[in-house]
Structure 1
């Protein structure tokens, strides 16, 4: 039960990330002056894959995956919506902050002694490395953003 609760929290976060990246991609595509939306597509795809991985593991553990991002997703949409009005750099900063929070959550979960080996493996081999790579990509984009 403990592992399913943690996995569903991560699933909510990944659903929120997927929604946030889709919103950012839509904004960047709509605003020809922002460009670089193609740099965010692989990150969005990683979050979609994380959703599938988490849903699969929750099902294998006998749990029921959450179906939406809940309050966190609503908050993330508001923040990103505000950033969208301020331009590309604000969008990238909001996404970067979300990625950093996600990485911190994964790192904290790895300190949990009750975490099962399959949950730990998913975090160590897929979720956390992807998150760290997203942070690096967004930092590069922020460095080159006007």
Structure 2
């Protein structure tokens, strides 16, 4: 494998870990939200992140390597959201979820600018992954404004 290919794998696995962390984060946050429409919206966002995990894993598989299986350091964010939700309530949890979505957007933007990331992955980011995060952010902001 070339250094370029290795870098693409590393970046893709980093994005995957971020999505795995998002799934963990929403799973934790759902423990706090019991009313509608909050619960349904958060479940839908979690499902989107689960789908994104599958998409990124498929790209990494296509590169012939084993995708990362856990969120690693990103998982700490999930634990922080759980703590915020328990101590400070729903508004703070929604703000933390927004911060997570913004972080994901930033990660995808950096990946789009990286010449080592394969075009197929960039297309997936532009066409599916980024628009989802932007929609999530909008939904979370609307929930918080209620």
TM-score normalized by the length of structure 2: 0.90
Match of 2:137 among 135, 139, 142: 135
Partner of 1:80: 81
Task: Map 1:119-130 onto structure 2 (within 5 A).
Answer: 119-130=121-132
CA RMSD in angstroms comes to 1.4
Q: Give, in angstroms, the shift of residue 35 of structure 1.
A: 6.6
Q: How many residues align?
A: 140
Distance 1:53 1:35 in 2: 27
Moved more, 77-86 or 104-113: 77-86
User: 5 Å matches for 1:54-93?
Assistant: 54-73=56-75, 75-85=76-86, 86-93=88-95
CA-CA distance at 1:79 after TM superposition = 1.4
1:110 alignment counterpart: 112
Which ranges of 4 or more aligned residues in structure 1 deviate by more than 6 Å? none
1:123 alignment partner, SS class: helix
Q: Structure 1-normalised TM-score?
A: 0.90
Cα deviation, residue 82, structure 1: 2.1
Q: Distance in 1 between matches of 2:67 and 2:115?
A: 23
Whole-angstrom distance in 1 between the partners of 2:57 and 2:73: 19
1:4 aligns with 2:9: yes
Counterparts of 2:20 and 2:121, CA distance in 1: 18
Any conservation in 2 of the 1:3–1:119 contact (CA below 8 Å)?
no
